[in-house]
Amino acid sequence: MQRVLGMRLRLLQRPVRQTAQTTTSSSASFATKAQEFADIVYGQDTGVRTVQFNRPEKLNALTLPMAQHLTARLHKIEVNNTVNAVVFSGNGGKAFCAGGDIRMLADNGKDPATRHVALDFFRNEYRLNYLLATTEKPIISFLNGVTMGGGVGLSMHGKFVVATEKTVFAMPETAIGFFPDVGASYLLPRLGRRLIEGEDYAADVPKSRALKGQGLGTYLALTGERLKGKEVIGLGLATHYMETSEYETLVHHLTGLEFEESVSQEERDEIVHEALEELETDEAFQEIDPEYLETIESVFGAHNEKDTVEGIYERLEKLNTEWSKETLETLKKMSPLSLKVTLEQMRQGAVKTCAECFQMEYRLAARMMENPDFFEGVRSVVIDKDRSPKWAKRDITKVTAKEVAEFFMPLDKDSELILYPMMSPEAFGRTHKRHVTDVIRVALDQKGVIGFIDVYDDMTLLEARSLIWENVENAPAEFQFVLDDGAPVSARQEGTQKIVYFYPMVHIRELRRGTPSPMPSPRRTSTSSVVNATMNLSSSPSSSDKVCVSTASGEEFHLRSH
């Protein structure tokens, strides 16, 4: 149900899911000893799980281990029928999550030898965002502080978003030579259409109508404009508004909810929605001036005859108001390349599915890691903090359409981002060369000492998968890996030297050093590709160490240690 302008947006319509029918088993029979993960604090009460991002000294910036850890936890929560709601928040009083660890991305992305670390982060982050967009569980993001970049990805894809008086929302990536990612190409182009025409969040509309109402999202994407809590709820980015002091009351209120087994997920969502409404601040809603929205649409909208960044500059100059002058000044500080890539991203995202948007963004992220503007932007804003970036092309007219188009071209087949909805069977039954490559490379880097997980023959697939997630969670964070979101591998510095690949929809496969073990018969599984690998590892790997991997189709490829 929605209210337009004077009436706030309520329940968001979700992207279409493909879900598998499952039954829930108690986790007590295969739970392992819990190991604290300092960067995320988990809590639980009757029917409720809480997730608190816990890097307050870094404004709760997201790291690769955090993304992997939360992904594992979400898979467990999804199959637990006793969980009615999940609440996300940030620790420290200043931030929900201020973004990704861009210093790490710049340090690793600059060197081709370590660039895969940055790409691993983007893959895991975008997969986590997509899981949040497709989970059936009601996730409530309590924006108790700065919510930017990666924090937007953690919050805006869930079913409920609670803005507060401490909320500061922004996608400021063009200022560092990057682009608004984490699904912004899906969220932002639809924002104005929802406000202007009252259409659903994921409404399937003709391309001609999809181009309408893009001005607001494009404005936020290009300028990095910051929004406060009441503006966030007024523009429909949040579903509810509360004071931060209501957090404990909110969690307690949710623990009192009761659901009958026959209640559908849609009905459960509505019950949670009504519970949130009861705690809302009545005076919270701030109506957005329709004239202001119309002005933004006239300048940044996609229906303009000259739909280019140069065209936006011209319209701002012609408008000649205080707002237009300030906006133009802001745009001219941004990376010209980022502005043009972002504008094209918004236009393409308006007619793509949620999954297609993430896949497009991964291509853009990979290309940005090869472009000097990102590293210069991070230097200027994060490292030296002089706020005087020297962009590769300072003149917006020098950035050609051909140069922009190259950012959107497909990657190599084995480098594309693979996405599956939460609980989709496909998420657990396919093997990709790139993922095997990543896992084996880490095995070699760690001198062949690999951890393992024992799976008992009488376990169901659901129980086995839950056991895998438990062990991945408790592995040292720097050695966690999730193979295609469904085949976790945890590498440890000590223990038995063997690898386990887990395919919940195929079968379980162990590999010992030097000699592959016999292939077990599939249990309660469907057929899919199977990977056999023979590892030739010395106690101290050298450049000659290699792994020969063959797929079920007979394809072979060799990997060398780095």
pLDDT tens-digit series, residues 46-96: 999 999 999 999 999 999 999 988 988 888 888 788 899 999 999 999 999
389 touches 191 (CB < 8 A) = no
Say whether pLDDT at 232 is over 90. Answer: yes
- The reported pLDDT for the residue numbered 299 is 95
- Between CA 178 and CA 368 the distance in angstroms is 7
pLDDT of 429 > 60? The answer is no
Instruction: Look at 151 and 18; give whichever has higher pLDDT.
Output: 151
Radius of gyration (Cα) for the chain, nearest Å? 24
Q: Are 37 and 71 in contact (CB under 8 A)?
A: no
* 3-26 pLDDT tens trace: 222 223 333 333 433 333 322 222
Q: Which residues pair with 97 in a beta bridge?
A: 147
Mean pLDDT of the 170-179 span:
98
Angle ∠(472,476,479) on CA atoms, nearest 5: 80
Banded model confidence at residue 437, pLDDT cuts 50, 70, 90: very low
pLDDT at 308 over 50: yes
Domain boundaries, the chain: 37-413, 425-560
According to the model, what pLDDT value does residue 168 have? Answer: 98
265 vs 341, which has greater pLDDT? 341
Q: Which residue has the higher pLDDT, 117 or 535?
A: 117
Question: What are the tokens at 23?
Answer: 């039954």
Residue 418: is its pLDDT beyond 80?
yes
pLDDT tens-digit map of 248-299: 999 999 998 888 777 888 898 999 999 999 999 876 566 678 888 899 999 9
Tell me, what's the pLDDT at 262?
A: 77
Q: What does the pLDDT read at residue 224?
A: 97
Q: Give the DSSP letter string of 34-79.
A: ----TTEEEEEETTEEEEEE--GGGTT-B-HHHHHHHHHHHHHHHT
The pLDDT of residue 553 is above 70: no
| pLDDT value of position 73 | 86
What pLDDT score does 272 carry?
94
Taking 90 as the threshold, does the pLDDT of residue 507 lie above it? no
Q: Does 514 or 108 have the greater pLDDT score?
A: 108
- The whole-number pLDDT of residue 401 equals 95
Active site positions, annotated: 100, 150, 173, 181
Span of 133-142, 383-392, 402-411, 460-469 with lowest mean pLDDT: 460-469
- pLDDT value at 210 more than 70: no
pLDDT tops 50 at residue 449: no
10-24, 100-114, 242-256, 446-460: range with lowest mean pLDDT? 10-24
At residue 485's C-alpha, the angle toward residues 484 and 487, to 5°, is 70
Higher pLDDT: 367 or 306? It is 367
Alpha-carbon span 316 to 302, nearest angstrom: 15
Please give the residue that has the higher pLDDT: either 179 or 436. Answer: 179
Give dist(CA 166, CA 229) in Å, integer: 7
pLDDT of residue 6: 29
What's the half-sphere exposure (Cβ side, CA atoms, 13 Å) at 155? 36
- pLDDT-derived band at 528 (thresholds 50, 70, 90) equals very low
Q: What is the CATH number of domain 37-413?
A: 3.90.226.10
Q: Mean pLDDT over all residues of the chain?
A: 73
Length of the chain: 562
The predicted structure's pLDDT at residue 302: 83
Q: Is the pLDDT of residue 461 over 70?
A: no
What is the distance between the alpha carbons of residues 189 and 358, in angstroms, rounded to a whole number? 14
The pTM of the full predicted model, rounded to 2 decimals, is 0.72
pLDDT digits 0-9 by tens, 464-506? 445 544 544 444 333 333 333 333 333 333 333 333 333 322 2
More confident residue, 265 or 521: 265
Compute φ and ψ for 299, nearest 5 degrees: -95, -45
Question: What's the pLDDT tens digit per position in 538-550?
Answer: 233 333 333 333 3
Task: Say what the pLDDT of residue 43 is.
Answer: 94
CA distance 277 to 241: 9
Identify the band that residue 318 occupies on the pLDDT scale cut at 50, 70 and 90.
very high
Which tokens is 334 given? Answer: 């941004």
User: How far, in Å, CA of 199 to CA of 380, rounded?
Assistant: 40
